[in-house]
Amino acid sequence: MTPTPEWFKSSYSSNGGACVEVAANILGTILVGTPRTPSGPHSPSAPRVSNAFVQGVKSRAFRGA
C-alpha cells in the first residue's frame, strides 16, 4: 500500500495560492506539487536531488540573465 502524501508549504509562503507544496513522507521520494491541483501532477525526485535544488535556490544559482 502506498502512503498518502502529507503536503506542506513553506512558512515563508503567503496565502496567495501561487505556492508550491512538498510531501516528504513517501519513502525515498520527495514530491513537489501545487495546491491548485492536489491530485496531480506531481514531480517526484530523490532527496539528494531536492536538497541540491534547495541549496541552488538559496545560493541564487538560478538567477535569470
CA atoms within 13 A on the CB side of 53: 9
Per-residue pLDDT tens over the stretch 6-61: 888 877 776 666 677 888 877 778 887 776 666 666 677 777 887 888 888 888 88
Q: Which three cell numbers stand for residue 26?
A: 513517501
pTM: 0.52
Number of Cβ within a 10 Å radius of residue 53: 15
The residue ranges of every structural domain in the chain are: 1-10+19-35+43-65
Q: b/e string for 5-41 if b means 16 or more Cβ within 10 A?
A: bebeeeeeeeeeeeeebbbeeeeeebbbbbeeeeeee
